[in-house]
Amino acid sequence: MSLVQLFNRQQQEARHFEQINSDHRAAHIKAVWANSIFFPFVELLSSLSIAFLLVWGALQVSGKSEQDVSNMFGELFAFVFWISQLYRPIRMLADKFNVLQRGTVRAERIFAVLDEHTDIQDKGSLAKVDFNQNLVFKDVCFSYVEGQPVITNLNLEIKCGQTVAIVGATGSGKTTLVNLLGRFYEHQQGQILIGAVPIEEIELSTLRKNIAIVLQDVFLFSDTIFNNITLGDPSITLDQVISASKEVGAHDFISALPDQYNQKIAERGGSLSTGQRQLLAFIRAYVYQPSLLILDEATSSVDSESESMIQRATDKLTAGRTAIVIAHRLSTIRKADRIIVMENGRIIEQGTHEQLLAIDGHYKNLSDRQYFNQEA
């Protein structure tokens, strides 16, 4: 995309944003005007009703005896109270009308999401596939926006049981590659094969059951540790969870909690440290025994002590299965069987840690830069 096209597109987006703001301001002003007219009008009617009642009452008691006036006074007081009770639902109705409007807007958004037709069609028919085969990316191309490619003619073969690390600058296409593998997006060109089977021919549920993804930002529910690990799957027992925790190295910190595996945690794991949340994500992945493991920046936001624990968990988790590790910290991927360096959606270098350092290319520059930053 040329600079002129980019500038014109930014100008168009800016005008669209200004139009949305203008419409929002106009709608808000209308709502303020409606409230400023309705409430005083209701209060005016209420006050006029009471005034007319008092005038009528004064006319009725004019020239009457003290006993009649006393009886009329009680009736007038009751009617004043009833008038207030009469207009109270009208005031409440106005408040509820505002709530109803907001609810209508929210409902429209929810229905828009429910009515959304996904681009990912579960058209695969293969429910039983041997995932212990090589994973192949063949001439894969993908773009989120037409004309702006993110992955371009990518060719990559990952052998069964091999640990492959992918590094590169932000926006180089690392996470996009993982999203294509899990079919969260559909690639426009090329093929992604498991053995000789394209992933489009595999049932979506079967494909995703055999893939475990550990992300940088772990989401934990407001529930027990056990339920957060099993995700409510009744087929996973407590013994399996404990065994997986011991393998990963998280059993000690869980056992130290008051209720251990029945300990309730806050939403997003607010009561746990970053390293502990990450370890729970590793247990969650390990207990399902996936054929393909993906670690997406799993150690990027933890301290050195937690990183060493997570590195041990990574070694245990990747043993004997195909694994793709996306990382910015090069210290965490030195043991990988192969390291892929990506830039602008292309593979520019690949090899082992020692081989890439010997090339003295992009990977060597990344390594030197991180070393000097850590020294500083």
**199-253: per-residue pLDDT in tens?**
888 888 888 888 888 877 777 788 888 888 888 778 888 888 888 888 777 777 7
Residues 152 and 211 in one domain: yes
Is residue 289 classed as helix, strand or coil in its secondary structure? Answer: coil
Residue 26 lies in a domain: yes
Residues 283 and 340 in one domain: yes
Residue 130 lies in a domain: no
Residues 94 and 224 in one domain: no
Q: Which domain holds residue 64?
A: 3-114
- Does the pTM surpass 0.85? The reply is no
Residue 237 lies in a domain: yes
Count up the domains in the chain and report the number. Answer: 2
Between 313 and 17, whose confidence is greater?
17
Q: Which residues contact 174 (CB under 8 A, 6 or more apart)?
A: 166, 167, 168, 296, 326, 342
**164-183: per-residue pLDDT in tens?**
888 877 777 888 888 888 88
Residue 129 lies in a domain: no
Residue 126 lies in a domain: no
Residues 203 and 281 in one domain: yes
Residues 158 and 103 in one domain: no
Mean pLDDT of 307-329: 75
Between 140 and 69, whose confidence is greater?
140
Residues 56 and 161 in one domain: no
Residue 123 lies in a domain: no
347-351 CB contacts, 8 Å cutoff, 24+ apart? 347/154, 347/155, 347/156
Q: Which residues contact 357 (CB under 8 A, 6 or more apart)?
A: 363, 364, 367
Residue 41 lies in a domain: yes
